[in-house]
């Protein structure tokens, strides 16, 4: 396991690791996430091994630019557009009907893909330099508290590289919301009342 700063050199090494189907830990605006190439079955298998979880749970994707969204989903509804305009980039993860080219392992039992445009500069740069979406499931074993610093990740086996963004100050995870059913899967940094104001009744 290699620990590198979130500078250009560190990001280049992280992108190289992603292209080798390795697992990279990196900071987001909420907690540290685990990145792999979401279009590689081998990379997804490596991710599930690090997490110690089954492949029937959805895997969050992070994008570095809004244009990346449209290659991942079938459609973007009016409700989704309202949420995107108000809260992206930021700690709101939205559910969409996935593009047919995405692995079912990303969607889990829900059949939908969860995507966020992160506001954290390292998250954005890592995705942009990689050239597409990356995974961003929390950097911890399934069921354990999410990591807020690089030191909390060191015990995890199977991670090739950590981009050290220091200790994160956020007290929240991202909110997970289905804009089409108006169901809040997980309430986090964006609260229910804020979402309801945007999409109405």
Instruction: Render pLDDT for 101-127 as a digit per residue (tens, 0 to 9).
Output: 999 999 978 899 999 999 999 999 999
pTM for the whole thing?
0.93
pLDDT at 37: 98
Instruction: Render pLDDT for 160-192 as a digit per residue (tens, 0 to 9).
Output: 999 999 999 887 889 999 999 999 999 999 999
When divided into structural domains, the chain yields a total of 1
86 exposure class (CB count in 10 Å sphere: 0-12, 13-18, 19+): middle
pLDDT at 55: 62
In the chain (201 residues long), the average pLDDT of successive 10-residue segments reads: 97 98 96 97 95 80 97 96 96 96 89 95 98 95 91 95 94 91 93 90 54
Give the residue from 171, 174, 169 showing the smallest Cα distance to 188: 174
CATH code of the domain covering residue 49: 3.90.870.10
Report yes or no: 88 and 67 within 8 Å, Cβ to Cβ: no
Q: What's the CA gap between 145 and 119, in Å, rounded?
A: 22
Residue 16 domain boundaries: 2-199
pLDDT at 201: 54
């Amino acid at each position: 396991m290699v620990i590198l700063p979130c500078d250009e050199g560190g990001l280049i090494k992280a992108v190289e690791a992603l292209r080798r189907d390795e697992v990279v830990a990196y900071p987001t605006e909420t907690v540290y996430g685990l990145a792999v190439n979401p279009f590689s079955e081998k990379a997804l298998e490596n991710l599930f091994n690090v997490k110690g979880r089954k492949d029937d749970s959805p895997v969050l994707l992070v994008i570095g630019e809004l244009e990346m969204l449209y290659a991942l989903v079938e459609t973007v509804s009016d409700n989704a557009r309202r949420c995107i305009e108000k809260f992206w980039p930021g700690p709101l993860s939205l559910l969409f009907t996935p593009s047919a080219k995405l692995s079912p392992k990303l969607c889990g039992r829900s059949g939908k893909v969860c995507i966020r445009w992160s506001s954290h500069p390292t998250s954005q740069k890592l995705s942009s330099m990689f050239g597409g979406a990356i995974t961003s499931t929390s950097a911890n074993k399934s069921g354990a508290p999410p990591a807020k610093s690089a030191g909390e990740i060191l015990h995890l086996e199977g991670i090739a590289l950590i981009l050290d963004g220091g200790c994160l100050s956020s007290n929240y995870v991202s909110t997970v919301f289905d804009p089409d059913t108006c169901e809040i899967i997980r309430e986090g940094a964006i609260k229910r009342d804020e979402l309801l104001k945007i999409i109405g009744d």
